[in-house]
A and B are shown apart, each in its own frame.
Chain A
Amino acid sequence: MTEETNPRVGSPLTRVRHAVGGLGDTLRDRWADAPKWQRWLVYALLLALAIAAPSPLIGSFMSPYTDWTSLLFNPIGIYILLAIGLNIVVGHAGLLDLGYVAFFAIGAYTLAYLGIKHGFTFWPTLILGMAFASISGVILGAPTLRLRGDYLAIVTLGFGEIIRVVILNVDKIGGARGFSGIPLWSNFFWVYFFCGITILISWRLVRSAVGRAFLAVREDQIAAEAMGVNTTRYKVKAFMIGSFLAGVAGGLFAHYMMYLNPTMFMFIKSFEVVAMVVLGGLGSISGSIIAAIILTFLPEGLRMAKEVLHTTKDPRMVIYSIMLIALMLTRPQGLLGRRELWQVLPKRKDKAPKDPTTEQ
């Protein structure tokens, strides 16, 4: 870090990082100096923006190519739910789960199957879907969470593939043809309602004894064990909570799309969620949400790249992956580090907290 003190030396990457950091500092200073009414004005504006967000006016600006409300629902809302859920597993408990989409799929298919074949209504199936997803989380977690971190990554990745292959080959739930005829029960309101509940759950959880145990497991497993934390048990707990939330997201997804097929649950989806959690900053709830919005909106915003570049091909994924690498290289600790959005902005200038993670 010492070689980064002078902005004129260093690689282009360091210079960019410096410029971005400088901009952040200016913003932070401005915010710290602002009187109370100005802050309230900003809060009010943000609230107004949140209420106005689903309106077609903003939609025509943000996504001229696709339906804005459904965009806010399917990729954005669902990914926010998934990112907050996975943030508990990866961010707080430090367990690298690369098969998160499996629990999402289990939730989605459980709801769809019970709803269609057994005539259950939405709420009972949602509860059953959550139960199924968390039970499968425990079944997978109990034996494998004793393993070291990187082994867990490959086992969960394998589990994700297993669930996909099972869905593909079981004819009762549609197999490769997909599962259609699911009633439309969830909508824009419910997905953000559940987002709110999930944020609340994970917010309270982090500040509970269980949440502190998660952090202890993440930071130093041996020390946590020495302090009397039953690490395997807490890992299974984190896994269970994470898969439970994925089950909710899956249920909402199934009843919005009204059709499911195995290609919706590819590995790339798990990866995207992990990318959101890591990019947002491990353990930061607001970071996960911001990263989820950025990364799901990015492919949508890149639709215009096709016209700009005058190609017939769709270069979105190429640009997306380059931007992802670039973001990771410039901020490897995540957008917000391990803090929340409001912690990045200090309360008063003279009391500005010295956080080592901001210095990078």
Chain B
Amino acid sequence: VLNDFIQQFGPSTVGGLVVGSIYALVALGYTMVYGVLRLINFAHSEIFMIGTFATLFVLSLIGLPGPLTGLALVGMIVLLLVAAMAVSGGAAVLLEIIAYRPLRKRNAPRLAALISAIGASVFLQEFFALVVIPDVFHKPGRIDTAVPRLVDRDTVFTIFGADIKTDQVVIFVAAVVMMVALDQLVARTRIGRGIRATAQDPEAAVLMGVNIDTIVRLTFLLGGAMAGVAGVLYAMEFENISYKIGFVLGIKAFTAAVLGGIGNIRGALVGGIALGLVENWGAIFFGSQWKDVIAFVILVIVLLFRPTGILGESLQQARA
């Protein structure tokens, strides 16, 4: 077993980093919405799913001749990212307006918003399965939809016996760039200050002239856009999407958010990568069918010893 572990350590580390960066991107949406509204936005996983389908839509609209290289590849990725971010971000804002705002305006109990969120999640899944996939993508009756290959999987370099492929480099770089950009946005700009203020104390933020509605909308927009980025990267890496992919990935991403410290943007990055790595390493020992179990056992263990997550809750102070 140990020999196996040493042999597979390199490749599974690389795989863990790639999956982990996708978890982290989705986790950002959960963490930001939770930080501002204290709401587990269960429909966020469907926002991610919409991002993957937006990617497929753009690809089929352009008509990809084959794997791209060089400048064409960069241009294509930027185009896909912009399109998916716009679609996912728009969907997230729409979701907030339809499913959450009326409840928020009435000071409804938080559980009501949770039910509404899960209802929205079921709706989006079924709507895609029933209407969008058959009518827009003309793939009725199919659960999985293939995505054309965007990047050739050439080995860029080898480290500790692990071949690093082009697509993995692209995904990791894109994810890290997006996360750093978001982190800086929240840390430095006026908008970011509004988000942090609302997360700390909504009432005081209103008194200081922050427009909560705008901030909430922005939070959903940013979180949705990050889920859109994750959607592009996921479609690129796994080349197989379905209306169901959101669910498990959403749970994992929320786990990552809690693991890193919910409400903490850097925590989402740390939690996502940590979860991806531990899951892949654990799979060497126990077999890949136990991946999900490993992820949740890790979550429980971390929460037992550090109830506020690895980096702690920092977008706001911990409130009991």
Contacts and interface: CB of A to CB of B under 8 A. Distances in A.
Interface of A: 11, 13, 90, 96, 143-144, 146-148, 150-151, 153-155, 157-159, 161-162, 165-166, 168-169, 221-222, 267-268, 271, 274-275, 278-279, 282, 313-315, 317-318, 320-322, 324-325, 328-329, 332-333, 360
B112 A317 contact: no
B260 to A, nearest CB: 13
Given A158-B296, A161-B292, A332 B108 contact: yes
Interface stretch (B7-15, B123-131, B212-220): B123-131
Interface in B82-135: 98-99, 102-103, 106, 108-109, 111-116, 118-120, 122-123, 126-127, 130, 134
A318 B307 CA distance: 38
Nearest to A312: B140
B254 interface: yes
Given A151-B258, A324-B119, A325-B116, 12 more contacts: A148-B320, A154-B40, A154-B255, A158-B251, A278-B112, A282-B111, A322-B119, A324-B116, A328-B115, A328-B116, A332-B103, A332-B109
A90 B118 CA distance: 16
B255 A13 contact: no
B290 A318 contact: no
Which DSSP category, helix, strand, loop or mixed, fits chain A's interface? Answer: helix
Contacts of A96: 111, 114
26 contacts: A90-B111, A143-B300, A144-B304, A146-B307, A148-B320, A150-B262, A154-B254, A155-B300, A158-B251, A158-B296, A161-B296, A162-B296, A165-B293, A166-B293, A221-B320, A278-B115, A321-B119, A324-B116, A325-B98, A325-B99, A325-B119, A329-B116, A332-B103, A332-B109, A333-B108, A333-B112
Nearest to B307: A147
B23 interface: no
Contacts of B116: 324-325, 328-329
A128 to B, nearest CB: 25
B91 to A, nearest CB: 15
Given A154-B255, A275-B118, A165 B109 contact: no
Sort A-B residue pairs by CB-CB distance and give the 4 closest, nearest first. A332-B108, A158-B296, A332-B112, A321-B123
Given A278-B115, A325-B116, A154 B103 contact: no
B299 interface: yes
Contacts of B295: 158
B102 A329 contact: yes
A342 to B, nearest CB: 23
